Each structure stands twice: as C-alpha cells, then as structure tokens.
Amino acid sequence: MSVDALETKTKQPTVFVVDDDDAVRNSLKSLIESIGIQAETFNSVHSFLDNYNPSRQGCLVLDVRLPGMSGLELQEYLQRRGIHIPIIFLSGHSNVNIAVRTMKAGAVDFLEKPFDDQMLLDTIQKAIDLEKNARWQQQRHAMIMERIRCLSPREEEVLRLLIQGNSNKAIASKMQLSAKTIETHRAHIMQKLGVNSMAGLMWMAISSGEYEEIPDQLPFDTSENWHQSISYFQ
C-alpha cells in the first residue's frame, strides 16, 4: 500500500469488528462495506489492541463474550486509558443487567443476535457521527486554549475582568491604568482570540472551561451561535 493510500485509509472512519465467530465477522465486514464504510475485523480483544491506533476515526462493534479478555473488560480498559471510541455491543444471549451496565458505561447501543441489518447500519452511522463530533469538540478546545495561551499576563488579567462584566473605565480604575491603555489591551485580546465582539469573547471563555469569573447572567442572547463571530472557526 502506498503512503498516500495509507494516509487516506487512516483518515476515513473505520468500523472495528471484534467477534470470535468467523462467519459473523465476515458477514459484518461485507454488510458494513456494502454502504461504503471500511471495516477491519479481529477474532479477539488482544488482536484488536495489538493493531488499534486511537488516533484513527471510527467505532467499535464488539461481541460481549470473547475468549480471554471479554468485551466488557475491553470497554473498561479503554475507559481507564481515556480512549473514547464509540462502542456498539453485540450479544447472542439476552441479559438485561449486562446491557444496562454497558450503556451506563457509555456504549452507543446493545444489540441482540440475530439483529436487523439496517438497525445495525443506522447505529454504526450514529456512532461514527458521535465520534466525529467528539473529535471536533476536542480540536476546537485545543484551538481555543492555544489562542488563550498567547495572551500576556496583563492581557489575561484584563480578560478576566472583562468577562465579569466590567467596563473599560471600571477595569482601568481597578488596575490603576488609563482607559486608553485598557482599550488597547482589549483590542489586542480580541485580535489574539480572533473575535470581533464581546459575545464571541464570552463564547471563547466559556468554551475553554478555564474561567470561574463568568457570571450566571450574561448580557447576550445565549441562543445565538457565538462561534460564528470567531474567525478561526469559519
């Protein structure tokens, strides 16, 4: 496989199927690939872990009962390591307790064999969409933090006072600086964060999760898409 082909493959979502039944694995692979989604199959948890790279996009279709390490144990293992790949459990044995346990632990769904093919495909698409959105959220947070870290200590201080709802004049008084200096700092903060309004600035602060100073009542309509005023995300 060429480097370009390998890069394309790793960027596309993949459904990782782990089941110890050869017929089930082959059937699932054919079904998934029939709708244009790539699939990789494994006959055990250990085989999957030996080949899985968490940076790859996709979801996991996982049998509950497997030789050696079970599907439940794999779910717990991945959680302990902060790997949040969406999991769809399959089981040939109806067990409400196990189903509830997996769902409480974050599984996308728990399907009993034999299952409806279309139901599985719909669930897989849902899992892929969830994973894609989670990755976007992570990337967005990283982008926000990268911008915030570009602020100087003085700009950071001004930002904290701004998100508390203080006016330029009030901030100038608190920091014993001129209003013009605060205006300059505010302009630099807006530029570095890539925002063009206080609503956008507040959205950045809230999304970062770093500021306890944010008031419960905001002077903006929270139904608006604040991120649209942020150049980085357009």
> Could you report the per-residue pLDDT of 20-47, keeping only the tens digit for each?
999 999 999 999 999 999 999 999 999 9
User: Of 54-68, 122-136, 168-182, 218-232, where does mean pLDDT reach its minimum?
Assistant: 218-232
Rg (C-alpha) for the chain, rounded Å, is 24
Q: What is the pLDDT of residue 145?
A: 93
pLDDT for the residue 222: 46
* 124 is a domain residue: yes
User: Could you tell me if residue 220 is inside a domain?
Assistant: yes
pLDDT of residue 197: 86
The rounded distance, in Å, linking the Cα atoms of 218 and 28 is 50
Residue in the structure block whose two tokens are 């790539």: 38
Indicate whether 25 and 114 sit together in one domain. yes
> How large is the average pLDDT for residues 77-94?
93
Q: How far apart are CA 69 and CA 110, in angstroms?
A: 18
- Assess if residue 51 is contained within a domain: yes
Q: Is residue 17 a part of any domain in this protein?
A: yes
Last residue of a domain, one of 93, 110, 134: 134
Domain limits for position 39: 3-134
Do residue 226 and residue 159 come from a single domain? yes
Res 229 pLDDT > 50? no
According to the per-residue pLDDT averaged within each range, which of 89-103, 149-163, 212-226 is highest? 149-163
Q: What is the pLDDT of residues 86-140, one digit of tens each?
A: 999 999 877 889 999 999 999 999 999 999 999 999 999 999 999 999 989 889 8
Do 38 and 153 have their domain in common? no
Q: What is the mean pLDDT of the chain?
A: 88
Contact 43, 22 (CB under 8 A): yes
Peptide bond between residue 114 and the one before it cis (omega within 30 degrees of 0): yes
- Is residue 139 included in any domain, yes or no? no
Q: Which residues contact 90 (CB under 8 A, 6 or more apart)?
A: 19, 24, 61, 62, 63, 64, 111, 112, 113, 115
* Number of structural domains found in the chain: 2
Domain membership flag for residue 12: yes
Tokens standing for 69?
Answer: 């390490």
